A and B are shown apart, each in its own frame.
Chain A
């Protein structure tokens, strides 16, 4: 996971692989630090993510709260993960493509 700024001024956070509870716990500080008090749109790029835990959903909710009016989106969502967001009722976070 590497937070980076790319034009036009978005905070893009990339994830890959299995975002299970253990992995999310390892990344928690890094993710929270990256998105806390965001002053620009926050984007989670989850290309290649094949599993998400409840902890990852909490990341998303936290990032959305922090991004506030700047906006929050999740991009590059595969069907398996898309279904998870649908069931969780969080699919509004997914980028409209």
Chain B
């Protein structure tokens, strides 16, 4: 396979020489040795959850450190509990009847792209799932979050070494330039890229020629159906959307309500310190929250509080306002606030009935969020299933704050993950919540188990063109 020439970029080969050596040593580890390393790293990451959260908030200026603590808890405790009993070494399953034995093998050195929005939690998460599968990992942090991501990596690495992990099983890039990342991604010794980040970066990873597990963008609609418990629904949406000031890609982006319950929903939002924008305010907000030339959210508003964003837009709000709701009529490029904006901003839609709500949610889902996550508050099981069937989403969360619900482990039994697959609609290979099981090559021993029907079947019948599929199937299944 052709690989890009990386000789002009210093140090790249050194990273992979070390990673390859670590992979070689790791390949000899037993399950017990591996699990001891993973436990030690989990404990170290967990012990540093507050320090790393504060560091991340200080360095990036995004979100709330308290919520970043929770993200670090999910990435360490919840992920650890989810993977700790998983068999990842040697024979992991045997089926004597089918004669299939499965053997887990590491994939090899992994390059982990770490986003600015979750710079320590994603680092911890990826390190844990890589070590659990005996894969060395190299972290490529965001330039805007290099210090905190690398601090998380160092903390994990020290703990891993103390638990007798291979040297260089965790590495991190000090040079976060685009050239360096490109060179790393296309290096022939790299086995897999875990690409969590913006669309450009994920596409770049896919284009490198190295197998990649990527993510897609979100644009999460939440449908409040008339059977929903309205106060509960609004409370949950606020919990989700205000978490870390909206930096999670699975957070709600638009609320779609039926006319019959719209007033009640609006009153609940107001009661919880949400502000409905006037038409003029919505236009002002649109200018600062969305970059029309780029066709994407303005990074300056990402993870910022509502009052600060309002001030940036040129209007003042009472200091206790938490969330901005922008009434919109439709979804699409001519309605910029119908797009994904990782901040405490929600598009607000009132529609005639459930059918109209589903139609609008389809539009929102297809407007930049295909394959990611959608949300519904309802107590009507038939409508929940109808909604789920019609959306293109890896995760359809029900009566749940979508930020925390999509990540898994808190409100449902999805695998806790900071890397959410979005299926082919999101240009990904899977809709799964990515976890340790995705980082293994599974070898299968296939013992001979003769197909008895074929043994008793007259193979000459295949050459008789007068026999159609039905005739052949009858002959194939005939009991002698």
Of the residues B330, B362, B366, contact of A79 by C-beta under 8 Å: B362
8 A Cβ contacts from A46-97 to B: 77-80, 82-83, 86, 91, 96-97
Closest to B386 in A: A79
Secondary structure class of chain A's binding surface, majority of residues: helix
B422 to chain A, nearest CB (A): 16
B330 near A82: Cβ-Cβ < 8 Å: no
Q: CA–CA, A79 to B356, complex, Å?
A: 8
Chain A residues with CB under 8 A of B358: 79
B355 near A78: Cβ-Cβ < 8 Å: yes
Q: CA–CA, A86 to B386, complex, Å?
A: 17
8 A Cβ contacts from B108-148 to A: none
Give the number of residues in B that approach A within 8 Å (Cβ atoms): 9
Q: Is B429 an interface residue (CB 8 A)?
A: no
A77 near B330: Cβ-Cβ < 8 Å: no
B421 to chain A, nearest CB (A): 19
Give the number of residues in A that approach B within 8 Å (Cβ atoms): 10
A80 near B390: Cβ-Cβ < 8 Å: yes
Closest to A77 in B: B359
Taken residue by residue from 354 to 371, chain B's Cβ proximity to chain A (1 for < 8 Å, 0 otherwise) reads as: 011011001000100000
Chain A residues with CB under 8 A of B356: 97
A96 near B362: Cβ-Cβ < 8 Å: no
B202 to chain A, nearest CB (A): 22
A79 to chain B, nearest CB (A): 4
Chain A residues with CB under 8 A of B330: 96
A86 near B359: Cβ-Cβ < 8 Å: no
Of the residues A79, A83, A86, A96, contact of B355 by C-beta under 8 Å: A79
Q: CA–CA, A79 to B351, complex, Å?
A: 14
A64 to chain B, nearest CB (A): 19
Chain A residues with CB under 8 A of B359: 77-79, 82, 97
Q: CA–CA, A96 to B358, complex, Å?
A: 14
8 A Cβ contacts from B383-424 to A: 386, 390
Q: CA–CA, A96 to B359, complex, Å?
A: 11
Q: CA–CA, A76 to B386, complex, Å?
A: 18
Chain A residues with CB under 8 A of B362: 79, 82-83, 86
Taken residue by residue from 28 to 49, chain A's Cβ proximity to chain B (1 for < 8 Å, 0 otherwise) reads as: 0000000000000000000000
Chain A residues with CB under 8 A of B366: 86, 91
Closest to B352 in A: A97
CB-based closest 7 A-B pairs: A79-B358, A79-B390, A83-B390, A86-B366, A82-B359, A79-B359, A82-B362
- Sampled A-B contacts (13; CB under 8 Å): A78-B355, A78-B359, A79-B358, A79-B359, A79-B390, A80-B390, A82-B362, A82-B390, A83-B362, A86-B362, A91-B366, A96-B330, A97-B359
Chain A interface (Cβ within 8 Å of chain B)? 77-80, 82-83, 86, 91, 96-97
Chain B interface (Cβ within 8 Å of chain A)? 330, 355-356, 358-359, 362, 366, 386, 390
Besides A82-B359, A86-B366, A97-B356, 18 more A-B contacts (Cβ < 8 Å) are A77-B359, A78-B355, A78-B359, A79-B355, A79-B358, A79-B359, A79-B362, A79-B386, A79-B390, A80-B390, A82-B362, A82-B390, A83-B362, A83-B390, A86-B362, A91-B366, A96-B330, A97-B359
